[in-house]
């Protein structure tokens, strides 16, 4: 399955500015991207990075500096122009965000499997975002930001696409804010978790909710 992985190269992870410098945010975002690409490949997907600028990865990259929604919809246009098979079936396509540091091959496989059962299968993020989806409906397009999970459910209904939510803690955890770093330290199995530890982050269990602090 083709899997589009949007990646912002210019000012990634600005909401982590309170704990990471710009260079560190770039390095951490890159580590998460590598983890996500590896999980997709291990799950049998064929990832293609959709980046705002050139990025050095060993997978195909499309550079599109337009806003996220515009760039992803252009990629969906391109996919569905060529996705039809002779028997009338349509090849599905997935979009998986590059900041899903807890993604594992199993979690991505479950997303792919849900996409075989419904026209559109969405893994929501906490707070109502859209962390990953699979679509085999040629008319489904995205509208990111805000509670985009709800918007995407409505868009699927408008175009007559069957919809299913994918209930996944691993795909539901996008790393946006400093509190999210604790999740990576606890559950992360890849480069992003290693990067955080090497940068001096440890769990902070002194308060009410476990957090991440830099030693
Ligand atoms: N191609 C592309 N990817 C984007 C763009 N903005 C964000 N992304 C990617 O989309 C995913 C979700 O991004 P967000 O968490 O909304 O934004 P972010 O830039 O990573 O972080 P913030 O600056 O803190 O909002 C991540 O994989 C980003 O790298 C964009 O304009 N174009
Ligand atoms: C891309 C966007 O991410 P968020 O801004 O919620 O992190 C969304 O999921 O709609």
CA of 194 to the centre of ligand 2 (A): 25
What is the pLDDT, as a whole number, of residue 20?
96
What is the pLDDT, as a whole number, of residue 82?
84
What is the pLDDT, as a whole number, of residue 11?
84
171 contact partners, CB below 8 Å, separation of at least 6? 96, 100, 102, 103, 107, 108, 111, 123, 131, 132
CA of 106 to the centre of ligand 1 (A): 24
What is the pLDDT, as a whole number, of residue 215?
85
What is the pLDDT, as a whole number, of residue 183?
96
Q: Is 8 in the pocket of ligand 1 (CB under 6 A)?
A: yes
Residue whose CA is closest, atom 29 of ligand 1?
Answer: 7
Residue whose CA is closest, atom 6 of ligand 2?
Answer: 129
What is the pLDDT, as a whole number, of residue 159?
96
Q: Is 169 in the pocket of ligand 2 (CB under 6 A)?
A: no
CA of 7 to the centre of ligand 2 (A): 12
Q: How many helices (H) and strands (E) does the chain have?
A: 7, 9
What is the pLDDT, as a whole number, of residue 33?
98
Q: Is 144 in the pocket of ligand 2 (CB under 6 A)?
A: yes
What is the pLDDT, as a whole number, of residue 85?
64
Closest atom of ligand 1 to CA, residue 33: 27
> Are the C-beta atoms of residues 172 and 123 closer than 8 Å to each other?
yes
ipTM of the shown complex:
0.97
Q: What is the pLDDT along the chain (215 residues), one digit of tens a residue?
A: 999 999 999 888 999 999 999 999 999 999 999 999 999 999 999 999 999 999 999 999 999 999 999 999 999 999 998 866 666 668 999 999 999 999 999 999 999 999 999 999 999 999 999 999 999 999 999 999 999 999 999 999 999 999 999 999 999 999 999 999 999 999 999 999 999 999 999 999 998 899 999 98
Q: What is the dihedral sign for C-alpha 49, 51, 57, 62?
A: positive
CA of 126 to the centre of ligand 2 (A): 10
E-strand ranges in the chain read 2-7, 46-51, 61-63, 93-96, 120-124, 130-135, 163-165, 201-204, 211-214
Task: Tell me whether strands 201-204 and 61-63 are parallel, antiparallel or unpaired.
Answer: unpaired
| Interatomic CA distance for residues 184 and 97, integer angstroms | 16
For the domain 2-172, what is the CATH superfamily, name and number? Spore Coat Polysaccharide Biosynthesis Protein SpsA; Chain A (3.90.550.10)
Provide the token pair at 83: 């996705």
Provide the token pair at 72: 């992803």
What is the pLDDT, as a whole number, of residue 191?
97
Closest atom of ligand 2 to CA, residue 130: 9
User: Which residue bears the tokens 């007559």?
Assistant: 160
What is the pLDDT, as a whole number, of residue 90?
83
| Interatomic CA distance for residues 195 and 113, integer angstroms | 31
Q: Is 28 in the pocket of ligand 1 (CB under 6 A)?
A: no
CA of 68 to the centre of ligand 2 (A): 10
| Interatomic CA distance for residues 80 and 113, integer angstroms | 20
Q: Which residue ranges make up each domain of the chain?
A: 2-172
What is the pLDDT, as a whole number, of residue 142?
98
């Amino acid at each position: 399955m083709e899997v589009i992985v949007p990646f912002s190269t210019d000012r990634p992870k600005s909401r982590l500015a309170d704990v990471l410098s710009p260079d560190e945010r770039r390095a951490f975002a890159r580590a998460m991207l590598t983890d996500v690409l590896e999980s997709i490949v291990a799950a049998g997907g064929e990832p293609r990075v959709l980046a705002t600028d050139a990025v050095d990865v060993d997978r195909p990259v499309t550079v599109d500096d337009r806003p996220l929604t515009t760039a992803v919809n252009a990629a969906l246009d391109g996919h569905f122009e060529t996705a039809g098979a002779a028997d009338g079936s349509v090849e599905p396509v997935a979009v998986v965000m590059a900041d899903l540091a807890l993604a594992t091959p199993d979690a991505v496989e479950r997303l792919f499997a849900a996409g075989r059962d419904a026209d559109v299968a969405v893994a929501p993020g906490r707070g109502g975002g859209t962390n990953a989806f699979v679509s085999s409906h040629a008319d489904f397009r995205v509208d990111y930001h805000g509670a985009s999970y709800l918007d995407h459910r409505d868009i699927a209904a408008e175009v007559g696409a069957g919809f299913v939510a994918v209930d996944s803690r691993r795909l539901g955890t996008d790393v946006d804010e400093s509190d999210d770093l604790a999740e990576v330290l606890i559950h992360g199995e890849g480069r992003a978790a290693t990067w955080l530890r090497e940068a001096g982050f440890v769990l902070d269990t002194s308060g009410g909710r476990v957090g991440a602090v830099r030693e």
